[in-house]
Amino acid sequence: MEKNIWEWSELYASNELSSDELIYLNNRLQNDDAFKIAFDDQVAFISNLQSMHKQDAFAAQLKALSSKKANNTKTLSKIVHLSINQWKVAAMAASVALLTSLLTLFLVKQEKPSKQYSMLRREIETIKKSQRQLINTLQSNDQSDLQPGSYTGTAFAISKEGYFITNYHVTEGADSLYLQTQSGNYQKAIVVAYDKVSDLALLKVLKASKQAVDVPYAFAKSKINIGSSIFTLGFPNEEIVYKEGYISGKNGFEGDTMQYRLEMMAQPGQSGSPIIDSKGTIIGIIAGKDTELDGTTYAVSSSALMRLIASLPSEVHVNLPKINKLKKLSREEQIKKIQACVGVLQVYKSKS
């Protein structure tokens, strides 16, 4: 009976012990507490591993049975909420809503192939493509199921309870999200709610750190004027980067009223970065850039964020800060305070 404890655990979890061995094992479990604790723990772990593979196999059977075709054109436009205990559904719900406007327009074009429309389609394709480009794609390396940090985006704190905001397209189809803030904390985050149309996703970090985040800024309730100068802090690479520019258009891409058009350079990885005005008020969130016009960036306005927060079910409490503590500070001091609230979001995605 020279089995190590892992072997005992595994044979037990797989129901492969002979009756003699079971008697011996029972005896040992009764007389050796340390052994019992480790054994129970390991059996639970192995069972979990086994049932994961069993469920994966079942899910593969289901997938094969599905009649779903990729060219469906419907779009889910309402805000979808995910309660905390259903958070895992985030990934699934995201794939529910996997239908792009690109595809829709593709079909529209077939029906009505006017020149104007094909122009529009091209532009839409451009922005779709460029939005992807704002996600910093890292190289995947091996044949395992998950790509390590498939890509990164930026997210920033919006309340002291550990809620963060980023773009929906950053979290779309993600299996898991990890947020790293300047303090070096590496925290798992979940999607609590998202709005696909305005391209926003509300995140919550699972283990809020002991000292609550001090969110120094407030949020603009309505749009600010063209010409206002703005700046942003985001993660085009591993270090936080400051950029400035101005509002060049009251509406975003294709006249999108939920967006601003900005004159400011943006790079992959900056999706989800805050856009801040000179007084330190958050006025928007970077969403995409124009690939044709160098330096033109689009940002979701803060009112879309307000709308998302306002529509949350009552059990989710997000208290946006009401006081702007940055009003009278110099730009350097503003940045110092803001950067503690901005983090890099690592998105893990399984290969499909």
Partner 1 sequence: MNTEFEIIAALADGKEWATKLVYESNASIVINALKLKGAAQEDAEDIYQEAMLILFNKAQEEAFRFTCKIGTYLYAISNNLWLKRFDKNRRSPILQTDSEQLMVYAESALDSDMEFFAEKEQQFLKLRTAMQQLGDPCAKLLNNFYKKEMTMQEIAHAFGYTNAENAKSQKYKCLARLKKIYSDL
Cα-Cα-Cα-Cα dihedral of 36, 40, 43, 47, to 10°?
A: 170
How far is residue 75's CA from residue 101's CA, in Å, rounded to a whole number? 8
Least distance from C-beta 58 to partner 1, angstroms? 5
Among 27, 182, 311, 319, binds partner 1 (CB under 8 A): 311
One character per residue 9-48, x = contact with partner 1 (rule: CB under 8 A): -x-------------------------------x--xx-x
One character per residue 320-349, x = contact with partner 1 (rule: CB under 8 A): ----------------------------x-
Give the largest Cα separation in the chain, rounded.
83
What is the footprint of partner 1 within residues 85-124 (CB under 8 A)? 85-89, 92-93, 95-96, 99
Q: Which range in 23-31, 144-152, 254-262, 302-310 contacts partner 1 by CB under 8 A?
A: 144-152
One character per residue 54-73, x = contact with partner 1 (rule: CB under 8 A): xxxxxx-xxx-xxxx---x-
Cα-Cα-Cα-Cα dihedral of 157, 158, 163, 168, to 10°?
A: -90
Question: Identity (one letter) of the amino acid at 131?
Answer: Q
Based on CB atoms, which residue is closest to partner 1, 1 or 62? 62
352: Cβ contacts below 8 Å, ≥ 6 apart: 173
- Contact call for residue 142 and partner 1 (CB under 8 A): yes
- The answer to whether the CB of 300 falls within 8 A of the CB of 129 is no
How far is residue 228's CA from residue 52's CA, in Å, rounded to a whole number? 53
Cα 95 to Cα 6, 72, 173, 174, distances in angstroms: 38, 13, 6, 9
CA neighbor of 320 nearest in space, from 194, 161, 193: 161
Least distance from C-beta 2 to partner 1, angstroms? 11
Residues of the shown chain interacting with partner 1 in the complex, contacts defined by CB under 8 A = 4, 6-7, 10, 42, 45-46, 48-59, 61-63, 65-68, 72, 74, 76, 78-82, 85-89, 92-93, 95-96, 99, 142, 144-146, 148, 175-176, 188, 311, 313, 348, 350
